[in-house]
Each structure stands twice: as C-alpha cells, then as structure tokens.
Amino acid sequence: MVKHIILWKLNDELSTEQKKAVKTDIKKNLEALVGVVPGLTKMNIRTEFLDSSSADIMMDSELESNEALKGYQTHPSHVHVADTYVRPNVSVRLSMDYEI
C-alpha cells in the first residue's frame, strides 16, 4: 500500500466565497475517483483547518501499490479533475508518498 498526501495553498486573489466553492469542487471531484481509478482505495479531502495551518486543502489517499500511484497520476479522470479544478486555483503544491 502507498500513502499519497498533497497539501495545496489556493491562489491569494480568490475571494473567500470563491475559495469555499473551489474547496467544495475539489473535494467532490477527487473523492469521486475512488472506484474509477484502478488501485485507488481511499481518498479523503480535508478543507477545514485550525488557524495555525498554512495550507488550504489536504488530500490523504491510499493506493494499492507504487504502480497504482503511477497509473493514478496519468489516469484521464484524475488528469481532468486536476486540470479543471485544482491547477487553475492553486499557487503551492506539496506532496509526500510513502509505503504503509
């Protein structure tokens, strides 16, 4: 099993209402990939944090293997979500992958 974690900082020029809508869209569309992308077993998107946090969104996902992670990254459904909802609205992306 592989844990795939992403932290995103949304673009500063987005208003509070825009950020709320973006968070909702990202959460809904990424969590919908479970059962669509082979090997993706869990997807949890966190959008509410304590004031001490420096990220706006956290993705906590699990995949069956490193090969499944590679497949996830290039799967057309994931690429569509990333290109439509994530990349246009994000200024910073940090990731960490590790075996569990």
List pLDDT tens digits, range 18-75: 999 999 999 999 999 999 999 999 999 999 999 999 999 999 999 999 999 999 999 9
Predicted confidence band of residue 17 (pLDDT cuts 50, 70, 90): very high
Tell me what pLDDT residue 94 has. 98
How far apart, in whole angstroms, are the C-alpha atoms of residue 18 and residue 82? 17
CA distances from 53 to 18, 28, 61, 67, 81 (A): 19, 22, 20, 32, 25
Tell me what pLDDT residue 14 has. 98
Ordered strands of the 2-10 beta sheet:
40-46, 57-63, 2-10, 90-99
Residue 58 is part of which domain span?
2-99
Tokens coding 57: 């969104």
Give the count of domains, the chain: 1
CB contact at 8 A, 12 and 100: no
Read off the CATH number of the domain in which 42 is found.
3.30.70.100
Predicted confidence band of residue 89 (pLDDT cuts 50, 70, 90): very high
Tell me what pLDDT residue 100 has. 95
